[in-house]
Amino acid sequence: MHKPGDVILGGLFEVHYTSVFPELTFTSEPNQLNCQGFDPPGFRHAMTMAFAIDEINKNSNLLPNVTLGYSLYDNCATLVIGLSAALSLASGQEEQFPPQENCLGTPPVLGIVLAMIQILKRFGWTWTGLLVSDDDYGRYVARSFQSDLAQSGGGCLAYLEILPWGDNPAELRRIVEVMKKSTARVVIVFAHQIHMIQLMEEVVRQNVTGLQWMASEAWTSAAVLQTPHLMPYLGGTLGWVEAGGALCTGLEDLENVETEFLDVSNLRPEYNIYKAVYALAYALDEMLRCVPERGPFSGHSCATLQRLEPWQV
């Protein structure tokens, strides 16, 4: 989705939660990836950004004589699509870019790993399985979990499996068979929403019940997994949601308690997107009010709209 303007703000959202890779014949140019599975929250996030920009453009006191535009991309919950879109936004070009393997980072999940281990110790669960995604997030969790679990003396891993990206039914079938044959009844999953969707399709197919699932923050509140069809398999899942406030005691009445997780009217992600757009707008407005020879850049210069660099904002 694109809207022209003097300054273009870029957004990357998960409007679809899965994608299908085309078959590679190596005899003709491959088709584009096919995004599937409409994700209403992701679409709402994109519309929030568009709404905030339209609202700013109507405000004569903020960025007068400057029109903001936007380019909104759907990452389809797929790394290659998300990276390509991000590079397109950064370069201003509508091109496809191959991912570089040296673009790595360390996800801040150490606190969640330690919290999970404390839960295991609290319930006396000493024999568990661990499933992780095949990316930096999953690999970091796998290393941290094995190390911290051993140091805590809280138990052992019955198995560690890596959930594949893309359409790989044979590997998912093998992983679920491992889970089915294992004596471990507790399964911890640090993976993305799309991994759980694909995994649960195979879990349902093999009718694997009686497991105690523990969910990372990446799929705890995924509405697509909270269906009557999956309740016989995922019912009772313990999930992790980052939120402030008092800790639960276990005595709360869920029909009366007000929490971010249970309150479907809570629009915190949308509010954060809304604030982020306004933060950029105010930063840009302040920059354009710069007085020549009193600016913050080299030689006390000011930035100009015609030669604006992203780092200057």
Give yes or no: residues 178 and 224 share one domain: yes
pTM of the model: 0.52
* pLDDT under 50: residue ranges of the chain: 95-107, 243-245, 259-263
> For the segment 290-311, what is each residue's pLDDT rounded down to a tens digit?
888 888 888 888 888 877 787 8
Give yes or no: residues 115 and 170 share one domain: yes
Is residue 264 included in any domain, yes or no? no
Tokens of 124: 């006396």
Compute the distance between CA of residue 117 and CA of residue 69 in angstroms, rounded to an integer: 46
Is residue 250 included in any domain, yes or no? no
Domain end: 194, 220, 239, which one? 239
CATH number, domain with residue 115: 3.40.50.2300
Number of domains in the chain: 2
Domain end: 239, 257, 281, which one? 239
Give yes or no: residues 132 and 210 share one domain: yes
Give yes or no: residues 124 and 98 share one domain: no
Is residue 58 included in any domain, yes or no? yes
Is residue 258 included in any domain, yes or no? no
Is residue 263 included in any domain, yes or no? no
Give yes or no: residues 89 and 127 share one domain: no
Is residue 265 included in any domain, yes or no? no
Give yes or no: residues 90 and 137 share one domain: no
Give yes or no: residues 123 and 226 share one domain: yes
Give yes or no: residues 184 and 232 share one domain: yes
**DSSP string across the chain:** -EE--SEEEEEEE-SEEEEEPPP--SSSPPPPPEEEEE-HHHHHHHHHHHHHHHHHHT-TTSSTT--EEEEEEE-TT-HHHHHHHHHHHHHT--------TT-----S-HHHHHHHHHHHHHHT--EEEEEEESSHHHHHHHHHHHHHHHHHT--EEEEEEEEPSSS-HHHHHHHHHHHHH-S--EEEEE--HHHHHHHHHHHHHHT--S-EEEE-TTTTT-GGG-STTTHHHHTT-EE-----SPPP-S---TTT---TTT-TT--HHHHHHHHHHHHHHHHHHHHHTPPTTS-SBGGGB---STT--GGG-
Is residue 257 included in any domain, yes or no? no
Residue 100: the pLDDT is: 36
> For the segment 234-274, what is each residue's pLDDT rounded down to a tens digit?
988 887 655 444 555 666 665 665 543 344 566 778 889 99
Give yes or no: residues 279 and 219 share one domain: no
Give yes or no: residues 159 and 235 share one domain: yes
Range of the domain at 95: 2-103+270-312
Residue 88: the pLDDT is: 80
Give yes or no: residues 90 and 205 share one domain: no
Is residue 171 included in any domain, yes or no? yes
Closest CA to 76 of 194, 202, 222: 194
Residue 45: the pLDDT is: 87
